[in-house]
C-alpha cells in the first residue's frame, strides 16, 4: 500500500527477504535438518533478527507456507481472456516441472517431510488444510465456470477438483521421491487425453482447432 | 520350502518377527526417530540379534519395504473368478482405509518420511522404484486383461496405470497429512464413477447388473 509508513515497508521487505532465504535454506538442507541459523545465513541476517519477526522455527515455516499459498493465488488469478479448457490446462501445467528444475524438486521434497509432520503439529496442519482448500477451490471454480458456459459436461466441481489435486500431487510425489523426471509429465498427458477431453462438451473447445 | 533345514526355518521366523516389530516401531515412532533399539524392544530381542540379521538400520528398512511389496503381491495375486472391472475395483479398495485404521495411517506417514529420503539414498530409491513398478504393473495387467477380453476400451495400459497409481497415492498422502479421513474414499468414488465406468465398453460389465 502506498500510504504504509516507512517502518512497516521496511518490516515487510525484511519478511520478504526471510521468506526468500527460507526457500533457499529448505532447498539446501531439507526440512528435518533446517535450523534458524541456516535461514539467517541465507538471508545474511542474524538469528536474533529472525526471532524478532518469528518466535520459533515453526512460526516461520507456518508463515512460509502462507507465503507459498499467496504466491500461488497470484499466479492462478483468473484471466478472462482464456477459455475454461485452457485455464484447466494451465492449471495442470503449474504442477509439472522439468528434470533440470532441481531447486523445485528439492523444495517439494522438504515440503513432503514437513507435510508428514502435519498430524503432529496443529499449526502446520491448519496451513496445509488451507493450501489444500486453495488448490481445490481454484480448479473447482474453473470447472464450475466451464459448466456455466456450457463447454464442460455437468460434473460435480468439488469432487472432480479433489480427484485432480490428488492425481497431480501423487504424480509430483512420485516424480521427486523416485527421481523419475517423467512421472508428472506422463500423468499430465493422460489427464489431458482422458480427462480434459472427456470433460468437454463435443465441439465446444475452440482452442485446439477441433470441432466447429 | 518343506526341505529347508531347521536352522533356516528358524532364521526365516526370526526375520518375520523382526519385520512385524519394524511395522509396529515405525507406526509408533515414525521414520526419523526410529532406532534399532525401538525395533528390538518391539521384537523382544536384543539389538545384537538384529545386527546379526541386518548390518544397519538402512538394510533393515530396505528389507522391510521388500517385505511390504511381497505382502502386496500376495494380496493382489490374480483371481480367475473375478471380472477385470471387479479386479480393478478391488485394486482401488486396497488403497482406501477407514478413519479408525490409525496404525495404517501411521505406517504410511512413516513411509512418506522414508520416501522423502529416496533421492539421497540409493538403496531406498531402488526399493521404492521396485514398489512403484509392482503397483503399476499390477493394475496395467488388469487393464490389459480387460482389453483382451473386450470389456475395456483400448487405452494404453501402462500410461493409465501410472495415472491411477499417482491418483491413489496422492489421495492417501492428503488423507494422512491433512488428517482428513474422507479424502481417499472421495477420490476412489470419483475414480469409480468417472474412470472405471468410462473404461467399460458399453454393456460389458456383467457385475453391476447394468447393460446386457
DSSP for B27-69, please give it. Answer: HHHTTTT--HHHHHHHHTS-HHHHHHH-SSHHHHHHHHHHHHH
On whether both A44 and A93 belong to a single domain, the answer is: no
Say if residue A4's pLDDT is above 60: no
* Nearest C-alpha neighbor of B139 from the set B160, B170, B115, B118: B160
Tell me, what CATH number does A178's domain have? 1.10.357.10
On whether both A85 and A174 belong to a single domain, the answer is: yes
- How far does B132 lie from chain A, in Å, by closest CA? 8
On whether both B121 and B171 belong to a single domain, the answer is: yes
For the stretch A134-157, pLDDT in tens is 999 999 999 999 999 999 999 999
Cβ neighbours of residue A199 under 8 Å, at least 6 residues apart?
Answer: A85, A88, A143, A146, A152, A153, A155
Give pLDDT, residue A210: 39
Give pLDDT, residue B6: 60
Residue B123 lies in a domain: yes
Q: What is the mean pLDDT of residues B31-56?
A: 95
Give pLDDT, residue A212: 34
Say if residue B159's pLDDT is above 90: yes
For the stretch A78-91, pLDDT in tens is 777 889 999 999 99
Q: How far apart are CA A139 and CA A84, in angstroms?
A: 10
Beta bridge partners of A152: A200
Q: Which of A26, A49, A75 is the last residue of a domain?
A: A75
Say if residue B203's pLDDT is above 70: no
Given CB atoms, is B60 within the 8 Å cutoff of chain A? Answer: no
Minimum-distance CB partner of A190 among B160, B173, B186: B160
On whether both B93 and B195 belong to a single domain, the answer is: yes
Residue B204 lies in a domain: no
Binary contact (A186, B162; C-beta < 8 A) = yes
* Nearest C-alpha neighbor of A93 from the set A189, A206, A158: A189
On whether both A70 and A173 belong to a single domain, the answer is: no
- How far does B113 lie from chain A, in Å, by closest CA? 6
Given CB atoms, is A24 within the 8 Å cutoff of chain B? Answer: no
Total CB pairs under 8 A between chain A and B: 129
Say if residue B209's pLDDT is above 50: no
Give pLDDT, residue A204: 58
Count of other CB atoms within 10 angstroms of residue B15: 15
Residue A208 lies in a domain: no
Given CB atoms, is A168 within the 8 Å cutoff of chain B? Answer: yes
Joined grid coordinates for residue A97: 516441472
Say if residue A1's pLDDT is above 50: no
**Number of structural domains in chain B:** 2
- pLDDT interval class at B205 (50, 70, 90): low
Q: In terms of residue numbers, what domain contains B12?
A: 1-54
Residues on chain A touching B143 (C-beta within 8 angstroms) = none
Q: Residue B124's closest chain A neighbor by CA?
A: A178
Say if residue B132's pLDDT is above 90: yes
For the stretch A33-69, pLDDT in tens is 999 999 999 999 999 999 999 999 999 999 999 999 9
Which has the higher per-residue pLDDT, A78 or B9?
Answer: B9
Supply the pTM of this predicted model.
0.89
Binary contact (A162, B128; C-beta < 8 A) = no
CA dihedral B50, B54, B57, B63 (to 10 degrees): -110
Amino acid at each position: 500500500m502506498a500510504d504504509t509508513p516507512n517502518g512497516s515497508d521496511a518490516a515487510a521487505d525484511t519478511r520478504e527477504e526471510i521468506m526468500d532465504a527460507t526457500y533457499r535454506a529448505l532447498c539446501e538442507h531439507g526440512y528435518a535438518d533446517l535450523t534458524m541459523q541456516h535461514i539467517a545465513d541465507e538471508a545474511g541476517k542474524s538469528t536474533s533478527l529472525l526471532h524478532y519477526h518469528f518466535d520459533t522455527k515453526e512460526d516461520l515455516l507456518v508463515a512460509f507456507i502462507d507465503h507459498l499459498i499467496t504466491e500461488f493465488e497470484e499466479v492462478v488469478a483468473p484471466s478472462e481472456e482464456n477459455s475454461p479448457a485452457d485455464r484447466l490446462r494451465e492449471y495442470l501445467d503449474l504442477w509439472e516441472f522439468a528434470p533440470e528444475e532441481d531447486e523445485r524438486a528439492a523444495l517439494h521434497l522438504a515440503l513432503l517431510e514437513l507435510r508428514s509432520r502435519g498430524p503432529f503439529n496443529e499449526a502446520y496442519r491448519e496451513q496445509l488444510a488451507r493450501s489444500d482448500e486453495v488448490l481445490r477451490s481454484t480448479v473447482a471454480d474453473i470447472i464450475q465456470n466451464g459448466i456455466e458456459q456450457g463447454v464442460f459436461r455437468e460434473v460435480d466441481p468439488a469432487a472432480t477438483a479433489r480427484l485432480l489435486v490428488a492425481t497431480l500431487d501423487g504424480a509430483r510425489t512420485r516424480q521427486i521421491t523416485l527421481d523419475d523426471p517423467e512421472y508428472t509429465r506422463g500423468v499430465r498427458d493422460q489427464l489431458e487425453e482422458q480427462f480434459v477431453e472427456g470433460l468437454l462438451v463435443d465441439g465446444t473447445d475452440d482452442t485446439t482447432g477441433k470441432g466447429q
